[in-house]
Amino acid sequence: MEFENGKNGQSQTSPVPKGLSEKTGLQRLGKIFLYVFLIGVAVVQILPLVWLFLFSLKNNQEVFNLPPLALPQEPQWGNYVRVWTEGNIGQYFFNSVYITASSVILTVIFASLVTFAITRMRWRLSKLVLGLFMVGLMIPVHSTLIPLFNFFTNVNLMDHPVAIILTYTAFNLPITIMILLGFYYTLPREIEEAAIMDGCSLHRLFFKIILPMTAPVVATTAIINMIYNWNEYVFVNTFISSDKYKTLTVGIQNFIGQYQTDWGAIGATLMISILPILIAFVILSNRIVEGITSGSVKG
């Protein structure tokens, strides 16, 4: 710290207080420990991806004889070519994209409509309807397999992608509505009142004004639903039997035989299956944080 002496115009340096210097040192030390901790967490998170990538480039002998993180003696890039050409992974990949995208779109639209009706409109049974949707959060997935199996059999939807799309949409509605609720409660009603006074209809108010305003939280719910739908296994394995309708999570069983299992091909299939979700998460990670925190504070 420097100041100018009034008599001779010479600048003097005052010593930094001891307590302040100790506090600054502790802050720097705390930052160092924080960075070290975060780097450690990042390494732990990335390590399984590195292991899976190396696993996908090995043959069966190297999988069992080499250490998990050891480099393959000769990378088996043919594993990726084989699973795409011989393993029908291209069809499974398309089915996963089709089913996931359809389910996410239906879930987001229906959940947004329900949340808009509950939070922005006044009607007698709104609280009861909200409670019924929240009950869906407490229903175990596996307890619904037999009733859904009987239902889809009776309506001739067994072994059809529509059965999976309807199931994903129904099971994801409660959590999607719960995430949307906090954001919808913070929207100013003055915007709706001004739009109605200008002659805006209810449907146009939702699709042209409210839905664009909720883009951050909609993106959050879309990513959460996408991750669940893409990785889901139980429903597809129960309701789909035809090879042409299977998704990646179920199609991977083609490389598991009675006498021999192609572990390198399984690793390549898993690597292909996680890439779309990984890319989407990296690109839209800021949207996830923004959407989750946007409805946490009012005002």
CATH code: domain of residue 181: 1.10.3720.10
Tokens of 188: 């100013």
In a domain, 133, yes or no: yes
User: Domain containing 260: what range?
Assistant: 82-294
Residue 77 within a domain: no
Per the structure, the count of domains in the chain is 1
Residue 40 forms part of a structural domain:
no
Confirm whether 110 is domain-assigned.
Answer: yes
Look at residue 163 in the predicted model and tell me its pLDDT.
95
∠ Cα 249 250 252 (to 5°) = 80
Whether 182 is covered by a domain: the verdict is yes
Spatial separation of the C-alpha atoms in residues 50 and 53, rounded to whole Å:
5
pTM to 2 decimal places: 0.79
**Helices 263-294 and 78-85 meet at what angle, rounded to 10?**
80
- Percentages (nearest 5) of helix, strand, coil residues in the chain: 75, 5, 20
Residue 12 lies in a domain: no
Task: Give Cβ neighbours of residue 171 (< 8 Å, ≥ 6 apart).
Answer: 136, 141
51 lies in some domain: no
Look at residue 10 in the predicted model and tell me its pLDDT.
52
Total residues found in the chain within this entry: 299
Domain contains 290: yes
pLDDT in tens for each of the 299 residues of the chain? Answer: 444 454 555 555 555 565 566 667 778 888 899 999 999 998 998 999 999 999 999 988 888 888 888 888 888 888 888 888 877 888 899 999 999 999 999 999 999 999 999 988 888 888 899 999 999 888 888 889 999 999 999 999 999 999 999 999 999 999 999 999 988 888 888 888 888 888 888 888 888 888 888 888 898 899 889 989 998 999 999 999 888 899 988 888 777 665 567 888 888 888 888 888 888 877 776 666 665 555 554 44
pLDDT at residue number 40: 93
